[in-house]
Amino acid sequence: MEYKLIDVVSNSSSETKKIGFNFAQLLNKNDYVAINGDLGSGKTVLLSGIVDYFITDAIVTSPTYSILNYYSNDKNTIYHIDAYRLSSYEDLLSCGVSDCDEGIFLIEWAENISDFFLKKNYYEIDLSYVSKNKRKIVIKKIKNEQ
């Protein structure tokens, strides 16, 4: 089952960040957020808004080379995975994801590891380029578990 939660056009990167911040209020520990969209569509910008809701002043950078990054304080841990260079669940496991403690998982290029999401409930965010400063953003909740 899919439930569409948000379908908007953002007019700036700060608006995209704010959309991420507001969406973050729905999230709980052990939730997964699959973030898809072309290069430069704003995945990291939106993700930085989500992180900002939980961890003020975190510096969010794209972990393209490290694949797995995390931000934490005494209440929350947010994992940031960039699956750009991955192609399966198995690849993800080899990055040490099964050693992660409880937290919220934000995954850029999630479509590259779609087998990871097959039996999960998760949120899916799709960003697409409209024009230089505009991005279409669709957020859905996907339920695969009974």
- In the numeric block, the tokens 């991955």 are attached to 86
Q: Please say which residue, 46 or 55, places its beta carbon nearer to Mg ion.
A: 46
Q: Is 133 in the site for ligand ATP (CB under 6 A)?
A: yes
Between 97 and 127, name the residue whose CB sits nearer to ligand ATP: 127
* 38 contact partners, CB below 8 Å, separation of at least 6: 127, 128, 129
Cα separation, 18 vs 26, in Å, equals: 14
Q: State the residue for tokens 């937290």.
A: 103
**Is residue 16 part of the contact set for ligand ATP (CB under 6 A)?**
yes
Which of 83, 135, 139, 140 touches ligand ATP by CB under 6 A?
135
Q: Are 19 and 6 in contact (CB under 8 A)?
A: yes
Question: Site residues (CB under 5 A) for Mg ion?
Answer: 43-44, 62
Question: Site residues (CB under 6 A) for ligand ATP?
Answer: 10, 12-13, 15-16, 37, 39-45, 62, 108, 133-135
